[in-house]
Amino acid sequence: MDWYMDKCVHYLSDSVCYIASDNTWIESKAIQQLETTAQLPDMAYVAGMPDLHPGRGYPIGAAFFSVNRFYPALVGNDIGCGMTLFQTEFKNSKLNLDKVEKQLSEMSDIAPSEWLEAHLPTEMQNHPYAGSLGSIGGGNHFAEFQQIDQVLNETLFAESGINKKQLLLLVHSGSRGLGQSILRAHTEQFGHKGLVANTEEANEYLQAHNNALDYAKINRRLIGERMMRQIRTQGGVISDVNHNLVEPCELHGQQGWLHRKGATPAHHDMVVIPGSRGDYSYIVKPIVSELSLHSLPHGAGRKWMRTECKGRLSHRFTPLQLSRTALGSRIICANKQLIYEEAPQSYKSIETVIESMVSIGLIEVIARLKPVITYKTSGEMA
């Protein structure tokens, strides 16, 4: 274990590290952003996950612990972005891929207003962003039907209550335009200097932030309901986790604020760490550790910048070819730019991300999930 620690944990200083095996692709710009973020006033500890990659000024796939003040800009515009895993009642043995693909292709990206009216919780009926609920959005957000491919820990799998004979659904989305509006209002007034804790301004932001967390959770649930309804099934939530947020936390004997930017909280019994659209995902049991600032990776992590993807891939693959994967799964994405940006080739290998975390004892792998069909967009972008 100690040998693996030395190999997988890279210390940039006493308070800054990132976790990655020799096989994990980590871009130098992401490490640079990690070090720059560590220089922010009152920043105490910074930890990069194996899915670390560059963001707009701040790295993605990392956790940041500060004292006395916190930084809304570190959380970013998609407050509450996260993953919800549903167990559906749809039997794998009944799966007809052509039929399911056709059903999902007929689904609009934006939830019909009459459907929303019938399904919105009472408290969201008059919400200014109610019209975006139940819709996935762009970027790396998706909804993916999956099957259990391998059970790797029989005991933990039995405890999970998952039925391996039935389809699972993983939804990745967040707070849509609401989170964007909260960050914009904050940065227009305060820029990137953060907020001193327990001030009126800090409390106002936290209230808006917590509302966005609730919104994101409801959004994922409604997306799940729409997706399941489209293939004429239903189901229930197994796991729901936000990976863009800030919360009070005690770490290394200090009371402070833990920011997660594309980092999964480790205090859940079970979470999903997804691969790219053409790769496996993993159900894992987190092990809470101060080394990783109580956090885990939130996915495979990007290998290429979005602006590079079409240039790298368009001479090799048509959009139609990218709608089929090496694992036999299918992708519904009518947005031709997005299908290149989100191609499996533009992401790191999920195996190296999982390997890094297993080797230093931060997760136990419960099961491997195989993608069946991934819904990105039918073309109507909200």
Catalytic residue numbers, as ranges: 298
Q: 209-243: b or e for each residue (b if 16 or more CB lie within 10 Å)?
A: bebbbebbbbbbbbbbbbbbebbebebeebbbbbb
DSSP annotation string for 94-154: G--HHHHHHHHHTS-SSPPHHHHHHHS-GGGTT-TTGGGTT---STT-EEEEEEEEEES-H
The token pair that represents 201 in the structure block: 């301004």
Three-state secondary-structure class, residue 176: helix
Cα dihedral 308/310/314/316 (nearest 10) = 40
Beta strands, E only, 205-276: 235-242, 244-251, 254-261, 263-265, 271-273
Q: Nearest Cα to 72, choosing from 28, 40, 34? A: 40
CB 238 within 8 A of CB 162: yes
Q: Is the dihedral of CA 139, 144, 149, 155 positive or negative?
A: positive
Q: In this structure, what token pair is assigned to residue 280? A: 């496996």
CA gap 199, 213 in Å, rounded: 21
**Cβ contacts of residue 364 below 8 Å, gap of 6+?**
153, 156, 284, 285, 287, 358
CA 190 vs CA 247, 258, 354: distances in Å = 19, 20, 38
Torsions phi, psi of 320, nearest 5? Answer: -65, -40
Identity of residue 111: A
Q: How far apart are CA 215 and CA 6, in angstroms?
A: 41
